[in-house]
Amino acid sequence: MHRSAPRLSRLLACAAVPVMLVAVGCSSDSGSESDGKKNEGSSSSGSADTKKPSAPAVEPAKFSDLPDPCASIKKKTIEDLVPEAKKKNGTAGRSNDLSIRGNCSWNGLDDKGVKGSQYRWLDVGFTRFDSDQSLGSGAKRATAEYAKQIAKTKASEGAEKVAAEPGKGIGEEASVITYGLKQTDEDFEYATVVARTGNVVVTLTYNGAGYAGAKTPSKADITKGALKAAKEAVAAVEATAESTATPPAEDKAGDDAKSDAKDDSKASPKAG
């Protein structure tokens, strides 16, 4: 009886061992499954945080302002093209924002008495486009407007013998459209120059007619005058970029250094 008690204790101890092993095994499996779920969660959240690449920024607009349309053409040119102009300084058109859109016109009747009279009219207009992420660069938008103005001019109501050719040496691209038009029982000769420089479109129209028996001006003369004025108008636009440009930092530093050296020379006593 006394010997059976120790033996019984040993049997119970051995019987408990498999139970502990099973418990340990379950604990290990549970941990691996939990780790797997965590890894899946971290992987999915990482892919969700990945951002789509942003669209490339559009090219900045070349011009941020426009010149005064009434001052864009030289006074001497106005005198030559529009003799006896009613307003020498031109008549400015209305605009809500002169940095975006503006125009100016001149007209006059040169009365030659019994030889008749010559009428001339000149108009210049500017349209500037800013760069926009959703609409495109200013230059791209101006290119679309340039084509639109050419098509609009060619489709002028009542226009006869419409012809178009490139306007060489004017801006980045230019076209000159010529046509005849009957107005106030007189034959008018027209020339319209549409030009683009950077993000600005320039539209210039010059026309004339002879009254009281005077001859209608020739197509060649009207075209020549329109091209001359258009070149000056485009040059005025391009000059706005130069007038608003800031000097490079190194140049400014050099100017400051020269100024300091000049002040030092004034302060130092001259050698005897």
Report pLDDT digits (tens) over 215-227.
999 999 999 999 9
Q: CB atoms < 10 A from the CB of 60, how many?
A: 12
Beta bridge partner(s), residue 158:
none
- At residue 249, the pLDDT reads 47
pLDDT (tens digit per residue) in 154-192: 999 999 999 999 999 999 999 999 999 999 889 999 999
- At residue 27, the pLDDT reads 45
pLDDT at residue 254 greater than cutoff 70: no
- Token match 């959240």: residue? 45
Which helix (H) or strand (E) is 47 found in, with range? helix 4-48
Would 90 be classed as within a structural domain? yes
Q: CB atoms < 10 A from the CB of 96, how many?
A: 6
DSSP 8-state assignment for residue 140: H
Would 39 be classed as within a structural domain? no
Would 60 be classed as within a structural domain? no
Would 100 be classed as within a structural domain? yes
Would 125 be classed as within a structural domain? yes
Among 117, 121, 190, 101, residue whose Cα is nearest residue 153:
190
pLDDT bin (cut points 50, 70, 90) of residue 114 is confident
End-to-end CA distance of the chain: 134
pTM (global) more than 0.75: no
- Report the C-alpha gap between 104 and 125 in whole angstroms: 7
DSSP 8-state assignment for residue 126: E
Range of the domain at 78: 69-244
pLDDT at residue 4 greater than cutoff 90: no
- Report the C-alpha gap between 204 and 229 in whole angstroms: 8
SS3 for 59? coil
Would 46 be classed as within a structural domain? no
- The number of folded domains in the chain is 1
Summary mean pLDDT of the chain? 82
Would 16 be classed as within a structural domain? no
**CATH number of the domain to which 167 belongs:** 3.40.1000
- Report the C-alpha gap between 106 and 87 in whole angstroms: 7
Would 122 be classed as within a structural domain? yes
pLDDT at residue 38 greater than cutoff 80: no
pLDDT at residue 241 greater than cutoff 70: yes
Q: Which of 23-27, 37-41, 146-150, 241-245 has the highest mean pLDDT?
A: 146-150
- Report the C-alpha gap between 80 and 233 in whole angstroms: 16
